[in-house]
Amino acid sequence: MRKVAVVGAGMTRFGKWMDKNLKDLGREAVEAAMKDAGVDKPAIEAAVVGNATAGLITGQEMIKAQVILRDMGFGDIPMINTENACASSSTAFHLAWLYVASGMYDCVLALGVEKLYHEDKTRSFRAIGSAVDLTAIQELMAAAAARGREKAEGGDGGSGAGEKRSMFMDFYAASAREHMKRYGTTAVQFAKVAVKSHKNASLNEYAQYRETYSVEDILNSPMVAEPLTRLMCSPIGDGAAALVLCSEEKARQLTTKPVWVTASILGSGKDRAPGEPGVTTRMAKKAYEMAGVGPDDLDVVELHDASAPAELIEYEELGLCKLGEGGQLIEEGATEIMGRIPVNPSGGLLSKGHPIGATGCAQLTEIVWQLRGECGDRQVKGGNAKVGLTQNGGGMMRGEAAALTVHILER
């Protein structure tokens, strides 16, 4: 396999863009990435586009890559559409990496784009709620109804899951309660994760929400599913992010500061034996082995914090600390921008935003910028970060992510 470099990265600001469509958002991100790379359209030999919900939100179920890129003047080249729920565009990046690493192409575009906002907000949440085994959910609901219960077990029993909010918050809440019971983690520690994320986003011009909050603000915001409050949950949003990947020879021609992709891992959840590690731990182990590094070598991490408890639990799953010590890590400030191992300096999904099909490429874009020392006030390690990791999960089945990617980048 050949060495692969990222030579260009660009994204839109994440937000509520009712006046923009997939083409508008995709064009902005792609043009920014190509300008950053210093390449024109003829240099791009293939494109992989990640999107999760356009079919359910806008009706554009098929040929999304072709619809978005054709109007930009791209033609003839292979265009692949990837859908892996929230991991759609990190999957696109993985395939783009594979195209270059295999020697098939020298310059490939990866794009993630999503529009989640719609006049009918229930449509948005129903779309997100399709990232589960719907047959299993329907069977569970039918069994619960047969027993005369209004709600299936596993949720918080509150109204609105899947209609007025994402049902995934009920899953995250259940995981949070289990972690609290097993390790003594507190709601205050979860709130401190959210405080950190909002503070980081205030420094990021691409973030959807840039307000800062105190622990008290987080805890006193409306309850979604115990112990999750609204400010502990990622929002819906619109946006796009794109990256240009090249072979080593091509990269040397384009830039003096390439960012190398030293690990690209895509895996899926499975039925586990008791005590067997979850999918994040399993895929992270493969990524560390592929890159020849370990958790202690990481200088910056962008991980899938769809909820504040998810970030804290993923500290442990990625090996940033031991099991049960995620609360201690946030208490120590280790994951702050100026900490030992900065996590989500972009603001993460919680505050930067979570247009789900764009999230994976946005995480990778942040790591590229961090490793190049281009993040201004949110720059980690004084601009000397050398190794960064992204973790991005998509969908959920039987208690863990249905699809999951881990990437390691180095400068």
Which residues have a catalytic role annotated?
86, 354
How far, CA to CA in Å, does 19 sit from each of 15, 113, 351? Answer: 11, 15, 22
**Rounded-to-integer distance, Cα 259 and Cα 351, Å:** 26
Is-contact 233 171, C-beta < 8 A? Answer: no
Residue 377, both tokens: 């006030």
Q: Are β-strands 259-268 and 4-11 bridged in parallel, bridged antiparallel, or unpaired?
A: antiparallel
CA distance 238 to 307: 18
Residue 279's contacts (CB-CB under 8 Å, 6 or more residues apart) are 267, 268, 269, 270, 393, 400, 401, 404
Neighbours of 89 (CB within 10 A): 38
CA distance 359 to 51: 10
Yes or no: say if 22 and 88 are a contact pair by the CB < 8 Å rule.
no
